[in-house]
Homo-oligomer: A and B are copies of this chain.
């Protein structure tokens, strides 16, 4: 990692080391606050802006990208070779992934037809996840009991 960054003109620091490591441990869809909390539990002296800047750096060097679901929170998703879409539960904010190989193919074609040079594709489904649906059904049942 240190080597990788150096070739791109960046230095390694203890803070950066810890932030990068923690980011990849947390896995998918990490927000600044989540990463800040995790890093803080390891080193209480690390600043919020340092975490934020390093998250941006992780994106700049191509290891992650920002995900914006329209809920005001920017999340950072590690870049994987296979493209994926997101299922975003409006109730519990959980984010699931699903493969979109063939869909992206169609989209690339669409772009080509319009002389548009695509850089990225975003495919999202917003709605209610299985768990939240069950919960709301249970609520309705218990309300019926009370009548």
Chain A, residues 105-120, CB within 8 Å of chain B (1/0): the string is 0110011001111111
Contact yes or no, A117 B133, CB < 8 A: yes
The residue of chain B having its C-beta at the shortest distance from the C-beta of A69 within the complex is B68
Contact yes or no, A114 B87, CB < 8 A: yes
- What's the nearest-Cβ distance from chain B to residue A94, in Å? 10
- Determine how many copies of this chain the complex contains: 2
Q: Does chain B have a CB within 8 A of A53?
A: no
Contact yes or no, A123 B122, CB < 8 A: yes
Stretch binding the partner chain, chosen from A24-32, A124-132, A139-147: A124-132
- What's the nearest-Cβ distance from chain B to residue A102, in Å? 8
- What's the nearest-Cβ distance from chain B to residue A146, in Å? 25
Contact yes or no, A125 B115, CB < 8 A: no
Contact yes or no, A111 B123, CB < 8 A: no
Interchain CA distance A66-B6 in the complex, whole Å: 42
Which residues of B are found within 8 Å of A110, using beta-carbon distances? 85, 98, 125
Interchain CA distance A103-B103 in the complex, whole Å: 7
Which residues of B are found within 8 Å of A129, using beta-carbon distances? 115-117
Binding site for B on A (CB under 8 A): 66, 68, 70, 85, 87, 89-90, 96, 98, 102-103, 106-107, 110-111, 114-130, 133
5 A-B contacts (beta carbon < 8 Å): A87-B116, A118-B125, A119-B127, A122-B123, A122-B124
